[in-house]
Structure 1
Amino acid sequence: MTGHINNFSPEVMQEIFLHCSSFGASAVPSRRSAPLNIAWVCSSWRNLALSIPDLWAALEIGTVRGCVPDVAVLLHHWAKLSRDRPLSITYNLPGNNLANYRVLSAPLVPLTARLQHVHFRLEPQFYLSLLCGQPRIELPLLESLTLASHDALMLWVPPLGSVVNLCQCPLLRRVVLESIPHVHDAPSEAIFYRSIDMAVNINWSIVASLKIVEPRLCAASAIRILAQCTLLAECELSVGYNSVPGNAMPHAVLPHLTSVSVEAQPAPHDQGTSGVVSILNALTLPGLKTLVISAGWVLNEPVSATLLSLQQRSHFLLEHFSLSGSIDVIPLGMLFLAIPTLKTVSLHPYDQSIYRSLLLLLESPWPQNDKLLLPHLHSLELSAHALGIYANSSGKLQYHMVLDHDVIHHYRRLSNLRSPMLFAMLRKRFRGSPNSKDGIVQLKNVTLRTFRSSEEVGCGDDQGLQQAWIDDDDEFRALQSTVQALKQQGIIVQFPVELID
């Protein structure tokens, strides 16, 4: 094979080499992956590989056989081979307690003018000396930055006054912040539930892609950050509970935002209401195409009504929608009526009793126009909880053994009601079925997911005994033949089971 490849011109070989190294964002220094595996094939390949600077413009630093390699040597070697090319450097050492951490960031200092993409997946104390040092480093080419920590207990406290100031990075467009000591856009006491002295200052007005995963970030701070992100195109927020009055926060119109994901993740021992509703109430998003909401488990939280209000003032036409948490079916139906452009829908209600009205909503014509909702829907995912599965205050699914016969009877009754309504809904939406409705797109993918406990799986290998959508196992086996027939028509129906510890 090598001989045939060597018949190609150097230009073609160079394109092949670059293609081999383009599968990952950063190159791991290993003989099993590009570019080192290319250089080890033969001398001609090695000479050609060493002459291609773009092949060495990305580097990922991680543990090798449990040890951290000599970072200074690696960076010097890659920087020399990449010549003057912009660099992508990733430190992938999450949760690694290193005895001598200074060697991690110090060798980067001579290269700061060339850094284009920098990803620190390690604890803040290992990069703080670089980003908070004096004099300030210059990062004129920096386009994307990741600061990700896995120190959930925050045992390390940064020195007083530590500030990561990135406001002077004119090209910084992509930012990922995960569990860092402090996300700073106002006095610390207004941002977190407890004051932490490290700060990250960013010129939010030029950021196009933003991801923040921080349970101590309250809704008020998230809204203030979003209000400054006038060029934002995609956003993922995982924030703490703590809602704010609607008149206390600025309202943000983000015309370029096409994809939003908002998740409520309360900090340990936190009590309160989800900040998701506060964030959605503060936004107008006319260009939105994808919306993912996970609101946690807060009783009587008006998530569905809030989404309807968001659509009414934004007039967006969604294509992809996912909702987890407390679901109110009536405003959800009004939302679906307002956005007939939806192509994919995923619904994960924590209150399983709503399925009777939800399946009826998807199966019956809307009273005002005698048409089914979501005429362009081609992918639908619904989730069901097996007996004993419930969502805690943060939305995390847990299992409690159920011994109460009344609870068991209630669960069985809901299952018996759900099965026939499920079949009725599917028949209406499968084109070619005698009961299908004209004017709607045929469903192509249907995923009916079951969450159940790993402790309750020992009752047999039959999938019908594991899933919670069809109450009777004989009925499930009969359905399997229908599923196979539908598969021949290009319709995929799945009943995956996910286990909860």
Structure 2
Amino acid sequence: MDQNVVLGNNAGAVDKKHIQGLHRSPQQNLCPIDSLPFEVLGLIFSCCFLAEDEDIHSPHPRSAPLVFCNVCHYWRDIASSIPALWSHFRISVGGRSACMLDNLKWTARWLANSRSLPLAVTLDACLLKMLPFPGRTISRLTLLQPFNLDPPENPYPGDVAHCVSELTSIHYRSYNHTRSLSRIEAEWLWWVLTEALNLRFLQWDAPLIYEPASKDGQWRALQRLCISSPVHTGTAMDILCDLTSLKSVQLELKGRFLPIEDLPIPCAALTSLTLSVYDGDVSFVEMLESLTFPALRTLDLTCRSLLISPLDRLTEPMPAVLSLVARSHAPLGSISLTLFSMREDQVVQLLELTSHSLEALSIEEPDHSYVSEPPLTLTDHLWERMTRREDSAETHLAPHLTFLSLLKCNIQSTDGVLADMVQSRLCPAIESLYISSLNGERHLADLERLGQLFAEGELEALRCEEERYCDTDNESV
């Protein structure tokens, strides 16, 4: 029977006699399970979730009855008849979940029992015809384009189209970024995007069919936007300026930027900004100089290197970042700068600008073995400015900092000064510390004391690794 297999593999050791007793008296078993509170039922069912199957095809145990219905037909009867267990129903067909096509009967039963419950639908584009939803409200729609399947002639019927105006979330994902969308696919998807007037979340993991634009009031309710394909810098500016309800944006920038006369432009609602740019891109710097983010809480910038020398680089992005932070006066709680070249005084200035709100700082220098410039060198000056001193009236930098990650930096401080800084900040404490360039010989005391703090529980996470760098003469330092 399928009950022992699932429970034995996922819930640990189970009394065999107890399982057999449940199998012999299924009708007696329905009543007590059915009478349990919904929270307890959800906890029981979640034990049947296979962690290794947690991908985009697998529904989350708290939002879909699909996993629960696969335990056995007794639990399936319960799961499909209690719609109040879930706030949304996620249906996935195709791929590893293709077996669900054999379960359309109990799926239809669940849909009938769920009445007006909003649906979160995940569908392979080529199989959309198999699960029509006439008269139902779909709030979240995820469309998956299989990697090795050619698009059908007409993959998108009108059964989902009627509810487009009610959609609040759309996620389109293509497993094959080299295959262009067919004309029918592109036209249908673009129609969905333009007609979804109540859209609040849009994630696009595929080549762009058109440059996104906001015309005639569309997407005015959009709050979260994530596009994995490169977007022109000018288009990104239009998005940030026109979509005034945006709270979170994740974009990869390319192309030129056309300067705007009325500067700077405030993006009052934005709280999270994630941008990926190219090293030395003048348009990115000009874009940063054109905007302010007074409500920004999270800033995540990645500067991908073009392997150009400092003499050939058109501009350095770090001064523009500092100017943006200073101009915005935002309550920044998290800053991540990946593959940015910077100096120690710029790190100190960044901490000074965000000292009263910063809780997490992550800096990763580029690989300097490919460029003829020194890495970020950190000395006693930074650690002393961050050290909390009882006998000093001067406030130390970033007193609320709990996460610090410094990767591929050159640590040239005196042995023990870093540990002094960490040990002095116990209220609140730096809970997570990641440094990839502590030399085991020059920083023996630092490593020993930091390890002791980790062993005593003062540091929840600690990673210190040794790396070697080369100067301009390719000599080991």
- TM-score normalised according to structure 1 size: 0.67
Are the aligned partners of 2:419 and 2:449 in contact in 1 as well (CA < 8 Å)?
Answer: no
Report the counterpart of residue 281 of structure 2 in structure 1: 273
1:336-415 maps to which residues of 2 (within 5 A)? 336-340=351-355, 341-350=357-366, 353-356=374-377, 358-365=378-385, 372-384=396-408
Query: Structure 2: how far apart are the matches of 1:25 and 1:83?
Result: 28
Are the aligned partners of 1:384 and 1:469 in contact in 2 as well (CA < 8 Å)?
Answer: no
Are the aligned partners of 1:359 and 1:425 in contact in 2 as well (CA < 8 Å)?
Answer: no
State the 1:84 CA deviation.
Answer: 3.1
Q: CA-atom RMSD, angstroms?
A: 4.4
Matched, 1:64 2:96: yes
Query: Structure 1: how far apart are the matches of 2:169 and 2:415?
Result: 45
Report the counterpart of residue 139 of structure 2 in structure 1: 116
State the 1:327 CA deviation.
Answer: 2.9
State the 1:480 CA deviation.
Answer: 4.9
2:78 pairs with 48, 51, 76, which one? 48
Report the counterpart of residue 116 of structure 2 in structure 1: 84
State the 1:257 CA deviation.
Answer: 1.5
Task: Give the match's secondary structure for 2:304.
Answer: coil
State the 1:221 CA deviation.
Answer: 0.9
Query: Structure 2: how far apart are the matches of 1:150 and 1:135?
Result: 22
Query: Structure 2: how far apart are the matches of 1:113 and 1:422?
Result: 66
Are the aligned partners of 2:232 and 2:255 in contact in 1 as well (CA < 8 Å)?
Answer: yes
Report the counterpart of residue 303 of structure 2 in structure 1: 295
Offset from partner CA, 1:362-392 (integer Å, 9 cap, x none): 22449xx96543232222101128xxxxxxx
Query: Structure 1: how far apart are the matches of 2:67 and 2:440?
Result: 54
State the 1:133 CA deviation.
Answer: 6.8
1:244 pairs with 245, 253, 257, which one? 257
1:313-352 maps to which residues of 2 (within 5 A)? 313-329=327-343, 330-340=345-355, 341-350=357-366
State the 1:80 CA deviation.
Answer: 3.9
Amino acid at match of 1:425: L
2:243 pairs with 229, 233, 239, which one? 229
Report the counterpart of residue 269 of structure 1 in structure 2: none
Query: Structure 2: how far apart are the matches of 1:108 and 1:10?
Result: 28
Query: Structure 1: how far apart are the matches of 2:232 and 2:220?
Result: 20
Report the counterpart of residue 174 of structure 2 in structure 1: 149
Are the aligned partners of 2:419 and 2:450 in contact in 1 as well (CA < 8 Å)?
Answer: no
Listed as ranges, the gaps of 5+ residues in structure 2 are 1-17, 23-27, 307-312, 369-373, 387-392, 468-477
1:284 pairs with 275, 292, 295, which one? 292
Matched, 1:213 2:225: no
Query: Structure 2: how far apart are the matches of 1:64 and 1:347?
Result: 39
Listed as ranges, the gaps of 5+ residues in structure 1 are 94-100, 188-199, 267-271, 386-414, 434-439, 450-467
State the 1:158 CA deviation.
Answer: 2.9
Matched, 1:425 2:431: no
Matched, 1:253 2:266: yes
Amino acid at match of 2:143: F
Task: Give the match's secondary structure for 1:89.
Answer: strand
Report the counterpart of residue 431 of structure 2 in structure 1: 444
Query: For residues 236 and 206 of structure 1, do their structure 2 counterparts lie closer, same or farther at Cα, with a shift above 3 Å needed?
Result: same
State the 1:205 CA deviation.
Answer: 1.4
Task: Give the match's secondary structure for 1:47.
Answer: helix
State the 1:278 CA deviation.
Answer: 4.1
Task: Give the match's secondary structure for 1:203.
Answer: coil
Query: For residues 345 and 478 of structure 1, do their structure 2 counterparts lie closer, same or farther at Cα, with a shift above 3 Å needed?
Result: same
Query: Structure 2: how far apart are the matches of 1:348 and 1:365?
Result: 21
State the 1:240 CA deviation.
Answer: 3.5
Report the counterpart of residue 36 of structure 2 in structure 1: 12
Query: Structure 1: how far apart are the matches of 2:408 and 2:42?
Result: 46
Amino acid at match of 2:359: K
